[in-house]
Structure 1
Amino acid sequence: MAEHSNYSTAPAAGAALDLQSDCGSCFGLCCAALPFAASVDFAIDKAAGQPCHNLQQDFRCVIHTSLRQKGFRGCTVYDCFGAGQKVSNITYKGRDWRQAPETAGQMFNVFPVMRQLHELLWYLREALALASSAPIHLELTSALETTVKLTELPPEALLELDVSAHRGNVNELLLRTSELARAAASRQLKLSPKGRKKFGRGADLIGAKLKGADLRCANLRGAFLIAADLSYSDLRSADLIGADFRDTNLRGANLTDCIFLTQSQLNAAQGDAKTQLPPGLLHPAHWTAV
């Protein structure tokens, strides 16, 4: 089978943007701002705005190296796309919520807004790196620049921002990007639509048996793939934006050139050293070595 790539050789637009989590440069915002409930992902209940009891004075997690073993695997899955350090060091200029407790409530509310904006930047940057998206590069670049400017707003303006409306506009561009990329890959691979299963957005594939399935160029946007078996499946050029990969078996799967996959999705899944990933994404530490 011929190898192919949707990606251009040019640097991704916005590549200099800091869109990877750096917990050491953050005020422990995900550990304080966000709520979680006792479940298979979290050992305890925690209300929004209540610092986790594992958060130390220096904003480090006391059980960081044993989160999964201690019942906090949800923490190992979460990714803020760099929003934490942006809010901590840029929006609030390095003044933390313990030094200035009067800012805590506002900072905790700003953080999830920034996280959504940074997630959009991640997708837009990937969209611009796709050679097949050339016909809409100007629109994508404009959306990227607009989103960057939004992240630079002061706290009060960020809280007034209609993130849902902006996200809707960006999502339209990402959908067009997906259609262009999957169509180009289908032509290159000479895939025939005849006999190929189609999935709608948000497809219910919970526990699905798809071992070794040919899912090249599939539309799996928002699909529920919880505990599905995708081992040794071919997901090249599939659109995976928003797909729920909790406990999905990706052992030996080929995700090379898949579209809009994030590290957080991989962290929620199960895989091994044979799982092939797109550039820039890593095999999570809890995946098996063989």
Structure 2
Amino acid sequence: MSGICDGRVVIVTGAGRGIGREHALEFARQGASVVVNDLGAGRDGTGRSGGPALGVVEEIKAMGGRAVANSDDVADWDGAARLVKMAVSAFGRLDVLVNNAGFVRDRMLVSMTEQEWDDVIRVHLKGHFLPLRHAAAHWRERAKSGERVDARVINTSSGAGLLGSVGQGNYAAAKAGIAAFTVVAAAELGRYGVTANAIAPAARTRMTERVFAETMARPRDGFDAMDPANVAPLVAWLGSIESAHVTGRVFEVEGGVISLADGWRHGPRAERDSRWEAAEVGEAVAKLLADAPDPEPVYGA
């Protein structure tokens, strides 16, 4: 197989099912060698099985591609280190890291437990940081040895992280953190030949099927807009050498639509040459709100 990722070595986390599986398959179709990482956990993050990752590896090999399976926990320091080392050991180096692994434990804020908060923050935020941390060390070492590095990081945020989502405070906070983490990674890693971007996908997966069951149920005009395979072409392109000029960006992708998300920016402001009096702040804020566009609505509000 050959394509826009010929010769690239790619890690995809959470690649045993859903969106991650489609990423892995598409990278293989485009000529990449793929490390298929998946803990094999249930929708709520419990349990463990090597079956999902191995199944995707067999699919890739049946297509004529190259792949190995990994079942390490990406939110564990040593597990993330082993994941990166596996790519280097199996294929000689690492070119692309796709951070995709995650799960949900949805609950309204007044009912959410500390464990539900911690578990979701851990797998999404820490599970993005640790593989990137070890991959970045690999790329920095190569760059400092004089090698020209042309590497990519693609992180997975969410519309919930960009706009908020009722009943998903833990997930929304983690995904918002990933968006901010991505722009920092882009700023810091560019010197080593690494770009970092994020996607906010909308597709039918185990995590979303309950939240969007009605809107995701039926294909329209023969095109299933909620098929997770729709997300993969953008990710494969972002992982290719063609995307070297794109970094620090967040893309929304759903069905046949790709859009560029525009995050927090400096907006209207009120300024004076002395400290504000508390009684005067209300009038200033009212003018700021009048001059600013209305915020996008929170999902589910």
Please tell me the TM-score bracket, short chain as reference: under 0.3
Select the structure that is richer in strand.
2
Structure having greater relative contact order (Cα 8 Å, sep ≥ 6) = 2
